Structure 1
Amino acid sequence: MLSRRQFLVGAALASAAPLVKASEARLAPWTAGVLDIHHISTNQGDATLIVAPDGTTILIDAGATAESGPAVLEPRPDASRSAGEWIARYVRRRLHDTGGDAIDTLLVTHLHPDHINGIPDAARNVPIRRVVDSGYPDYSYPPFEDAAASERYVSWVRRQANVERWQVGSDRQIRLEHGASSVPFQVRNLAGMGTVWGAGKRFDATDRPNVNACSIALRLQFGRFTYFCAGDLTNWADAGARPHLDALTPAALAAGPVDVAVAPHHGLFDASSSDMVRALSARAWIISAWHASHPSISTLERLFNPRLYAGPRDVYATGLHDAVRLTASRLTRQLASADGHVIVRVAADGASYRIFVTSNRDEHDRVLLSSPALVARACR
C-alpha cells in the first residue's frame, strides 16, 4: 500500500503539466486535415465546437444559464451580449478559417438552460443547417424541468427544416459533410434517452428519469486520437438505489480509454464515479464550469487519483468560482488551467495533439497556455 507521502507525490506527478505560457501569441488558424475541438467559455453554460478535418462544423449545445446571483460566474467576455451571441461570434471566427458560412450540425445533449438557452440567439447570428436531438419529434419524456427554456427551444426547433432524432449506436449520423479524410474519422453515438450502445435499454419513461439521466454520450475517433463527452449524464442513480438509471458508466465502458474527456455534468459529484474515471483513463480532462458548485471536491479527488489509473493527466476548467478555489485549494492548485477557452488540436495524421487555452476576456484568441505535443493512444 502507498504511504500518504507516496500518494501525494504520485498525485502531484500525475497532474503535472509542462505547459508553456504564451500570452502574446494568438491561436493559429485551423488548417485542412486538422481536427479542432473548441470548448467555448462564456461562464454561462456549455458550448463545444468541433471543426473536422474537411471543415465540417459540429456545435454541441449552446448554453445560457437561467440562474443569476453570486453563485454564478461573471459572463465572458462581458454582459453586453447574450451567451448565444458570444458563442455565434466565436463560431464565425472559426468559420472564417474554414471558408464556411454555417454550422453544419447542431447536436443537443439534453434540455437544460445551460445547454440550450443560447441556441435561438446563436442561430440568429450564424446559420444552422441540421439539428440532431434525442427528444425529437415528440419530446414525450423526460418532463421539462425548466419549462421556459425548454419550450423556447422546442418552439425554435419545430421551425427548422432539417431535424433528426439521435440514433444510439450509429457511427454515420454525425459525419463529414464536405469531403473525405485520409485518416479515419468517426463519431459513435454511445448513449441517449437511457439506451447505451452495447448495453441496451437501461430505463424508460416508467422509471421517471430526470433530464440529466437522458443526456447523450459520444466518442469521437480521428486516427489514433479519441475523445469522450456526455453532456450532463450522471451515474448518481438515486444514490445507487436504482442502479439501472446509470447510463454513464456503461457509456464510459463502451468508449474505453480515451485521450481527452469532458467531465460530465460540469464535474459535479454525481457524474464522475471511480468506475467511470477508470474506464476512460483520460490523459486530459476538461470541466465546463459556471457555478460555485463546479467542480466538486469529490470529482477532483477522483480525476487526480493515481490509483484509479496509471500515468499523467491534466485537468482544465473553463472557469472557476472563488468559492471552489477556497474550499478545494489543495486540488484546484493542481489544475492545468482554470479560466478560458480550451482547444484540443489534433495533427492531420491523428497521431498527436496539443491543448491550448485562450483568453475569454475578449475576442482576440490570445493563447494563455499551450501543451507540448502529446502522443495519441492507439484506438481499440
Structure 2
Amino acid sequence: MMQTAWANRFFSFLSIFLLLIRISKAQSPKEMLPPWKAGHLDIHHINTGRGNATFFILPDGTTMLIDAGALDPTSERTLSPRNTPAVPSAEKQPGEWIARYITRFMTMSQLQPKLDYAQITHFHNDHMGSPSRISPKSENGNFVLTGITEVAAYLPIDKIIDRGWPDYAYPYPLTNQMVTNYRAFADWQTKHKGTVFERSKPGRTDQIVLTKNPNQFAKTVEIRNIIANGELWTGSGTETRQLFPALTGLSQQQLPSENMCSIGVRLRYGQFDYFSGGDMPGVLRFGAPTWHDVETPVSKVVGPVDAHILDHHGNRDSQNDNLLAALRPRVVIIPVWSSDHPGHDVLDRIYSQEIYPGERDVFATGMLDANKLVIGELLNRLKSDKGHIVIRVAPGGERYQVITLDDSTENFTVKAVFGPYQAR
C-alpha cells in the first residue's frame, strides 16, 4: 500500500513537472530569424499581400530587390475577398513595408541599409506599384510614392534595371499612368540621387555583380540575365536570339504582351541555383502562335534549379510541362495575392511525378481560404501557406534551408524550418 501511495505521489509530481515545462515553453519568446552572415546567400520572399517583392543578400553583402508590387489599395477588387489582405496591415503602403523589412534586417545583420540593385521584371502594378488616389506625393519630384518609387524614398538604390529604359517604347510606347509616374521618378532619381538606370542585357553576367568583396566569391556566384523583351540567351557565351517576330508585321492585338516581355534571371551560388521569371507565360491560348510560349525556350537554357519562384504567381497560363521537366525544382515558391494563384491544373503539374520524379516542397506566401475549398487536397500538401519565405544557402552553396516567418509582425519570428536540403 505504501509503495502504491508513493508511486501515485511520484506520478502526480511528474505530471505537474511536465505541465510546468509545457507552460514554460508556451510562454517563452519565439525564435527569431538569425542575422545574415558573410558567406551565406539569403533570398527573402517578402509578403505584403499586394504583389511580389524578393530581397537578396549575396554572400559578400551585395543586395538586390526583384520587384516591389503595390496594388491600388482603393480598388474594389483589391478590397474584395478575391484578393489577399494587406500584410502586416493596411496602415502603411507596401513600398514602406518592404523598405522597413529590408532596413530592419540589414541593420540586424550589421549591414548598411541600402540596395545595390533593384530590378523590375515588367511593368505591372503587382511588380512595380500602382499610383492611386491615396498615394503620397514625393516631397521632391513630380511623382507619387508607390511600389519601387516608395521603396526608394526610404532606401538608397545604386542601380535600377528594367526592361524599357531609356525610351520605354517596346513593343509600343508605354504611356500608362504607372510607367509615366515611374519615368518621372527615374528622371528625378538620376539627377538628384545618382541612381543608375539600365535596360536588362540578356546573356550577360556583368550587369549584376558582387560589389563588396567580389574576389572572394567571384568563382562561385553568378547572376545570368536569361531573357528580356523576348531576347533570349542562347546558352553560349553572351549570344542571344529573338523569340518574337518583327513587330512591323503585327497588329496592335498581336504584339507581345507585357507578361511575355518579363525579365528572367538565374542566380547561381556554388551548386545552388534559383530562377526568377516574372510573369512569363507558357500555356498557349487556343489559336495563339507558338512564340507566345516563352517558358519552353527559356527552360532549355536555364536547366535544373534548386528553387524557383513560380512564373505569373502560378496562374493558369504558367508552369508548363516543358519548364517543370527542365527546371525540376526541389523548392517551389508561390507568391500569392489573388484567388487565381495558383491554378488547379498548375498545382497538379507541379506535383506530377510523371513530369519529373522526386520530392518537392511547395511554399505559399498567403493562400486564400477560397483556394483551399476549391482545390482541396493538393493545397493540403503545402509545407507552408502563410508568411514570408526565406531561403538561406550555407557558405559554398552546397546546402540550404527554407525558413518561414510570421508576417503579422515585423519581428522576424520563425514559424518553421525546413531542410537542410542538398543543392544539386
Task: Please give the TM-score of this superposition, normalised by the length of structure 2.
Answer: 0.81
Counterpart of 2:102 (choices 85, 88, 91) is 91
Counterpart of 2:128 (choices 116, 137, 141) is 116
C-alpha distance 136-241 of structure 1, shift in aligned 2 (>3 A):
same
C-alpha distance 358-131 of structure 1, shift in aligned 2 (>3 A):
same
Counterpart of 2:223 (choices 187, 201, 207) is 187
C-alpha distance 246-146 of structure 1, shift in aligned 2 (>3 A):
farther
User: 1:331-350 residue pairs with structure 2 within 5 A?
Assistant: 331-350=378-397
Please list the CA deviations of residues 177-211 of structure 1 after superposition, one character each: whole Å capped at 9, or x if unmatched. 11123461001100110111116101154451110
Please list the CA deviations of residues 263-303 of structure 1 after superposition, one character each: whole Å capped at 9, or x if unmatched. 10000010111111111100010010001111110110000
Do 1:46 and 1:62's aligned partners in 2 also have CA atoms closer than 8 Å? yes
Amino acid aligned to 2:213? G
Which residue does the alignment assign to 1:170?
204
Which residue does the alignment assign to 2:85?
74
User: 1:245-260 residue pairs with structure 2 within 5 A?
Assistant: 245-260=292-307
The answer as to 2:304 corresponding to 1:304 is: no
Please list the CA deviations of residues 114-161 of structure 1 after superposition, one character each: whole Å capped at 9, or x if unmatched. 000011111111111111111111111245789222222222123232
Task: Select the structure of larger CA radius of gyration.
Answer: 2
Structure 1 gaps of 5+ residues are 1-21
Amino acid aligned to 1:197? W
Do 2:351 and 2:360's aligned partners in 1 also have CA atoms closer than 8 Å? yes
The answer as to 2:34 corresponding to 1:28 is: yes
- Rounded Cα–Cα distance in structure 1 between residues aligned with 2:168 and 2:243: 19
Counterpart of 1:47 (choices 28, 53, 62) is 53
Counterpart of 1:273 (choices 320, 335, 338) is 320
The answer as to 2:147 corresponding to 1:135 is: no
Do 1:225 and 1:350's aligned partners in 2 also have CA atoms closer than 8 Å? yes
Which residue does the alignment assign to 2:184?
155
Which residue does the alignment assign to 2:143?
none
- Rounded Cα–Cα distance in structure 2 between residues aligned with 1:270 and 1:113: 19
- Rounded Cα–Cα distance in structure 2 between residues aligned with 1:374 and 1:102: 30
- Rounded Cα–Cα distance in structure 2 between residues aligned with 1:146 and 1:367: 43
2:212 is paired with a residue of what secondary structure? coil
Do 1:269 and 1:298's aligned partners in 2 also have CA atoms closer than 8 Å? yes
Do 2:387 and 2:406's aligned partners in 1 also have CA atoms closer than 8 Å? yes
Structure 2 gaps of 5+ residues are 1-27, 130-146, 191-195, 235-239
Bigger Cα displacement from structure 2, 268-277 vs 179-188: 179-188
Question: How much identity, in percent, do the aligned residues show?
Answer: 36
User: 1:10-25 residue pairs with structure 2 within 5 A?
Assistant: 24-25=30-31
Counterpart of 1:202 (choices 235, 243, 256) is 243
Structure number with greater CO (CA < 8 Å, separation at least 6) is 1
User: 1:196-235 residue pairs with structure 2 within 5 A?
Assistant: 196-198=232-234, 200-203=241-244, 205=247, 206=250, 207-235=254-282
1:104 is paired with a residue of what secondary structure? strand
Name the count of aligned residue pairs.
356
Do 2:391 and 2:403's aligned partners in 1 also have CA atoms closer than 8 Å? yes
Task: Please give the TM-score of this superposition, normalised by the length of structure 1.
Answer: 0.90
C-alpha distance 23-325 of structure 1, shift in aligned 2 (>3 A):
farther
- Rounded Cα–Cα distance in structure 2 between residues aligned with 1:350 and 1:23: 31
- Rounded Cα–Cα distance in structure 1 between residues aligned with 2:360 and 2:273: 15
